[in-house]
Amino acid sequence: ARPVRPARPSGPSRVAVALLAASLLLAGCVGPKEQTTPSAGTGPTDGPTVDPDGGLDAFYGQTVTWSECGEGFECATIAAPLDWDDPSAGAIDLALERAPARDAEARLGSLLVNPGGPGASGIEFLSSAVSYVIGDPVLDAYDVVGFDPRGVGQSSAVECGPDEVVDEFLTTDFPLASQADVEAARERLADFAAVCLEETGPLLGEVDTISAARDMDLIRAVLGDEQLSYLGFSYGTFLGATYAGLYPENVGRLVLDGALDPSMSNDDLVIGQAEGFENALRAYVEDCQRGADCPLEGTVEAGMAQVADLVARAEVDPIPAGDAEVNGTLASYGIVVTLYDDGSWPYLTWALDEALTQGTAVTLHDLANIYLDRTSDGRYTSNSMIAFQAINCLDYPMVERDYEDLVTFTKEVETVAPTFGQRFGMAIGCETWPFPPTGVRQEIHAPGAAPILVIGTTGDPATPYEWSVRLAEQLESAELLTYHGEGHTAYGRGGDCVRDVVETYLLTGELPDGGASC
């Protein structure tokens, strides 16, 4: 089966999931989202001209030109080196959008935001961030700047052919039950990657996180900020920590919410996320069964088994969903997306009740579409899923297992995640991707950096709390804020306590000595 792992974090989940689910409720379907290609009149579509032969000085010396692109927002495009190790190799575009500081006299500078992924669009996230996440005092003091990292969205982006090609790769059930199945899966990945390489070109080999962190320093400099202030969620914490490791002297105020441990291996990530989602599903089932209308009967273990059986049955016999159908992969996506935020649990109850009692999966299909950034008619509204693949294949050392080794590893995953273990463990990775991985998994200490705030949520399914603890321990200047709750990330969804700590830090640079707990 097409794996769910590693799960695709995408910023504060109340924004990324609950608001989209609410639109599903109101409209009866998943409506089209803003396209990743700007239409006429929404901002510049041609990037600035930078002579790569001028080296890095030419890139750092460019001037950014802003234009209005919606009420209260301004857009721009800057140039970055295609290859940071060889600036003469050419340039790519980085797309920016900002909400200018509301109080010019109180302005502290720019605050870059990244919603995670990897592959999520900071531009698409910006309007939600300023409306639902970031508090007024911070909006008064900072130009909040969303950017699409290299390979993503409106920046020079990874492309992998028409939606039908992407859809087959992302959503088809391909069970791995033999070595022949494993070889077939590797061949499918190679075929898909060949399309990506043809459509994207050499950029496909340059979308690693280190390059994206170097882009952030370029953005900092072009915006005129001596130090980088940054708000990163989920994968955005890895991007921010990478930046701190590369440029500790340029660190301003960094908030890293829902952290990844940069020293983790791919296996550690898979096992940790599988266990995280298992625990989140268990918390959901317990909550569901305390209510009167829960479709999951019996004990908590029986309820967990009903969810697992539903996915297994969908893989063998897809569930009707209006004009579509839901297979095992889509069922898994539809379940997982609601576990990012406990505010989305009612939608999971609705979807399970529909599937278990009515034998239809319209809601589960719509929830899967939210996860995929896909409309009800199969059109992808962003390139987030394929950018996710491309970035991770460069960032994590390759793991290659034959069928028997996969079975052994899956059994290890199932010891901590019996419901999700099969889908997280029984999957190929990047064995036949056209570019070898360049990332090195190691601790990041960033000696000499200014104080950094790391936030961990105790019930976080996608970035388990222990990862935030470990990142805070690694970064020499970090303090940890612990949010006791369910769901992915905390700022914007963890109440006044979390908000007060984050915004005091962003406005004054002060952190609670020894950390804090909310």
Which residues are annotated as catalytic?
A: 234, 460, 488
Question: Which amino acid makes up residue 337?
Answer: V
Number of H helices, E strands in the chain: 19, 12
**376-381 long-range Cβ contacts below 8 angstroms, 24+ apart:** 376/29, 376/30, 376/324, 378/163, 378/164, 378/167, 379/32, 379/163, 380/163, 380/166, 380/167, 381/32, 381/33, 381/34, 381/35, 381/36
DSSP class of residue 430 equals S
Transcribe 378-420 into DSSP letters.
Answer: S-BS-SHHHHHHHHHHHHS------HHHHHHHHHHHHHH-TTT
Determine the length of the chain: 518
CA dihedral 185, 189, 195, 199 (to 10 degrees): 160
Q: Say how many Å lie between the first and final Cα of the chain, rounded.
A: 39
DSSP class of residue 482 equals E
- Give the helix ranges, DSSP H, for 402-508: 403-416, 421-425, 465-474, 495-508
Q: Which residues of 120-155 are buried (b: 16+ CB within 10 A; e: fewer)?
A: bbbbbbbbbbbeebbbebbbbbbbbbbbbbbbbbbb
| Cis amide bond preceding 44, omega within 30 | no
Transcribe 20-52 into DSSP letters.
Answer: HHHHHHHHSS-PPPPPSSPPTTSS--SPPP--G
Calpha distance 222→444 (Å, rounded): 26
